[in-house]
Amino acid sequence: MSVPYITIGNVRIKRTAALAPMASVADRAYRYVCKDHGAAYMVSEMISAKGLCYSDRNTEELCTVTDHERPYALQLFGEDPEYIGKAAGMLMKYSPDIIDINMGCPVPKIVKSGAGSALMKDPEQIYRIVRAAVGSCGVPVTVKIRSGWDGEHINAVEAAKAAESAGASAVAVHARTRTQMYSGKADISVITAVKQSVSIPVIGNGDVVSAETARDMYEKTGCDLVMIGRGSYGRPFVFDEIDCFFEGREYAPPTDIERLDVMYHQAELSVGFFGEHTAMSRCRRQCAFYLRGMPDAACFRDRCSRLEKLSQLGQLIDEIKERLWISSERKKNT
């Protein structure tokens, strides 16, 4: 398979793999690392439309767009077309390439407000929300949806058609229902059905963890772009793997030492962006993902949960590297 580009509106995106928006995970440091390893397109963490309209400081901090991350979308969430429209217009001062609207988040707090995947219950409201956003900004508007609310209400096609008729330039489909949350197997036949029903680009999301599963998503669904979420946890290298696969280049998986170096680099970036206290709190969980599969990983993951300073992480990494070296020497002598 060659590696062409797709266009969303006037935005050109390499047809390899995009990083999914993930609240509290895909922050700027994580996005930088994934971009360095080949992520073709990225979306911000969720931005509250009402929070933005009410000038919430924490909300505005999510809106920064850096050239390093482009092509890049800012993602809004909310249930009210008026607020979505106003917020979409306000985001223009940050110069995003795309405005994305979250209609798939399954978190109870978001759903109870009528936003996120609760919108899958009301395609007419999806139409009104997208219409408001399209009329208020000068960039392409996209939506991210789920298969449906539950197994008895699989209506991604209806939702995608509503978004398209309202002027959406693309739709991303996470092939799980809201009640599945993040469990069970993604039903990618839903992505196929959406692709066959709309004329705008369709982004497939769900269970992509490697070059082979990315290929399968493309081939089985006909989607225009693949999006990876949890499959990238502690594995930004998956984007390198997919790049190499589609470009016909040999892929060399990272060594454990290389994984540790990238883990530290992400933590360094996080400290620079958010300050040490906030950064280390965020890094505790993410560092644990990088350590999966390494010798004595359980012990080191436990120590990750207590990290407070970047220097502590540096010391931990030195210990792990020494343990890896000892293990390697033992293998050589047996």
pLDDT in tens, the chain (334 residues): 456 999 999 999 999 999 999 988 899 999 999 999 999 999 999 999 999 999 877 787 789 889 999 999 999 999 999 999 999 999 999 999 999 999 999 999 999 999 999 999 999 999 999 999 999 999 999 999 999 999 999 999 999 999 999 999 999 999 999 999 999 999 999 999 999 999 999 999 999 999 999 999 999 999 999 999 999 999 999 999 999 999 999 999 999 999 999 999 999 999 999 999 999 999 988 898 999 888 888 888 888 889 999 999 999 999 999 988 776 666 666 6
Encoded tokens for 90: 């306000």
Nearest to 59 by CA among 74, 73, 81: 74
Could you tell me the end-to-end alpha-carbon distance of the chain, in angstroms, rounded to an integer?
43
- Residue at token pair 């398979």: 1
> From the candidates 53, 105, 283, 287, which is the catalytic residue?
105
Common-topology check for domains 5-247 and 256-332: no
- In this prediction, residue 329 carries a pLDDT of 65
Which of 66, 18, 63, 23 minimizes the C-alpha distance to 41? 18
105 is catalytic: yes
The closest of 84, 172, 100, 93 to 142, measured between CA atoms, is 100
* Domain residue spans of the chain: 5-247, 256-332
Domain 5-247: which CATH class? alpha beta
What confidence score (pLDDT) does residue 2 get?
56
* CB distance 314 to 294 below 8 Å: no
Cα–Cα distance for residue pair 186/166, rounded to 1 Å: 27
Rounded-to-integer distance, Cα 288 and Cα 304, Å: 6
- C-alpha span between 16 and 246 (Å, rounded): 7
State the DSSP H helix or E strand holding residue 6, giving kind and residue range, or none if neither.
strand 5-8
pLDDT on residue 333: 64
- Tokens 């009301």, residue? 122
Distance of CA 97 to the CA centre of its chain: 16
- Strands of 178-234, DSSP E: 202-205, 225-228
pLDDT at 297: 83
Phi, psi for 177 (deg, rounded to 5): -85, 170
CATH code of the region 256-332: 1.10.1200.80
- Tell me, what's the pLDDT at 56? 79
DSSP per-residue letters across 67-119: GGG-SEEEEEE-S-HHHHHHHHHHGGGG--SEEEEEE----HHHHHTT-GGGG
Instruction: Work out the angle at residue 182's Cα, subtended by the Cα atoms of residues 180 and 187, and round it to the nearest 5 degrees.
Output: 65
The DSSP 8-state label assigned to residue 204 in this structure reads E
CB neighbours of 184 closer than 8 A, spacing ≥ 6?
Answer: 176
Query: Exposure of 36 by Cβ count < 10 A (0-12 exposed, 13-18 middle, 19+ buried)?
Result: middle
Beta strands in 131-224 (DSSP E): 141-148, 170-177, 202-205
Rg (CA), the chain: 20
